[in-house]
Amino acid sequence: MFQPSPPRFLVGIEIAVIKVDQFESVFKSAAKLNFKRQELSFQKIAVVTDLEEAEAKTLAARVRAFLQVLGDGPEWMVLDRGQSERVEQLLGLVTQEKPELLVTYRNLHSAAWRWPHSLGPRLDVLTQATRCPVMVLPHPRDVSAFDASMQHTEVVMAVTDHLVGDSRLVSYAASFTEKGGDLFLTHIEDDAIFERYIEVISKIPSINTENAREQIIKQLLKEPRDYIESCRRELKEEGLDLRIHSEVRTGHHLIEYKQLVEDHSVQLLVMNTKDEDQLAMHGLAYPLAVELRQIPLLMV
């Protein structure tokens, strides 16, 4: 905020300024962002494949069974090989039909699914050029992974490095968790970035490094924990039969999430990719989507 230079008569009351700042910090910390469940609609779902029509329909049936949590309400449409081959045509169809969820898999029209290096150009475009969420399944040719993953959504995990205030992400994750299931709300602070800031702080004489480390990490982790508590309260009040679990910690994103997925046998991972600046896609989401090829991902 712009601050005019202080009038002469204010010089010399630094102690009061420090105390005002301390109390403002107390009140700012008390002003919390609470979870508010967003109403989500899944009237039309499009399954995008690179299979011939018959195979595509079979796959769509599997997807429908897998997403039983969405009930019988949605209208399902299936895009086969011919309809998804050209990117312009695919985007045109999505724009025209306005599905509220796209279900597909990585490396459409490519054999590169065998190597964990990319999502393929069509999926890159779909995640960034469309506004609706995209569910990425394991590739159907990877039969063992596909079969193993297409069972249930009883264990769902929302992943982010900025959970506080992200009602949209939590609402999607809650909507895809089956009744009586486990919803893991996670927040991993990247320790490499944190250490970089602490290193800078350690070179500033007026800041006590150890105190800064202790206080910053305490506050960084407190905020998502408080937010998860508000999610728990609100979802309970809404009558959702879910067990909410909190996983808030520091660490290396990819390593921590891979570990969490393994430890809790997660069946669906929900992550942000639709923020305006595409920061999520360029930061946390893309490497996760590339690396975690064995379970379905929901990119919202």
Partner 1 sequence: MLPETTFAAAQIGANAAHQQVVPLSITLLFAALFFGLVLCLALEEKLHAKKSVIAGLFAIICLTLGAFMELLPFGEVTLADGHHIKLPVFIPSIDWGVVTIILGASIFVDVTSKSGLFTWIAIKLTKLSKGDPLLLLVFYGAMTTVFSAVLNNVTAMIIVGSLTAVSLDKLGRNDKLLGFLLIEGLLTNVGGLLTLISSVPNIIVGTTAGIGFVDFFVKSSPYVLVVTVITIWLGARRFGIERLASEEKAEAAERVDTFDENDGIESIGFFWFGAVMLVLFIAFIAAASFDSWAIGKLGMGFVAMSFAMVMLLRYKSEAHTFYSAVDWDLIFFFAFLFVTIYVMEQALVLELIGRGFAPIIGMGEKVGGGLLLLVAAIASSVTDNIPISAMLSKILTSGNFQTPADSPLWWSVIFGANLGGNLTPIGSASTLVAVTIMHKHGLEVSFLKFVTLALPFAIVHIGLATAYVLIWLS
In the complex, the residues that contact partner 1 under the rule CB under 8 A are 1-4, 6-13, 15-17, 19-21, 23-24, 26-34, 226
Residue 23 or 276: the one with the smaller Cβ distance to partner 1 is: 23
Instruction: Please say which residue, 28 or 131, places its beta carbon nearer to partner 1.
Output: 28
Residue with Cβ nearer partner 1 (8 or 131): 8
Task: Evaluate whether 55 touches 141 at the Cβ level (below 8 Å).
Answer: no
Minimum CB–partner distance for residue 167 and partner 1 (Å): 13
Whether the CB-CB separation of 206 and 238 falls below 8 Å is answered with no
Beta bridge partners of 184: 157, 245
Nearer to partner 1, 55 or 229 (CB): 229
Closer of 27 and 72 to partner 1 (Cβ): 27
**Structure tokens given for 215:** 């206080």
| CB-nearer residue toward partner 1: 27 or 54 | 27
Are 253 and 291 within 8 A, CB to CB?
no
Least distance (Å) from partner 1 to the CB of residue 22?
8
d(CA 212, CA 250): 16
DSSP summary character for residue 246: E
Give whole-number Cα distances, 248 to 1, 84, 253, in Å. 31, 39, 12
Q: How far is the CB of 97 from partner 1 (least distance, A)?
A: 36
Burial annotation 120-132 (CB, 10 A radius, 16+ → b, else e): bebbebbbeebeb
Q: At closest approach, how far in Å is the CB of 152 from partner 1?
A: 35
Minimum separation from the CB atom of position 2 to partner 1 (A): 6
**How far is CA 98 from each of CA 27, 36, 44, 148, 190, rounded to the nearest angstrom?**
44, 26, 8, 30, 36
| Least distance between partner 1 and beta carbon 162 (Å) | 18
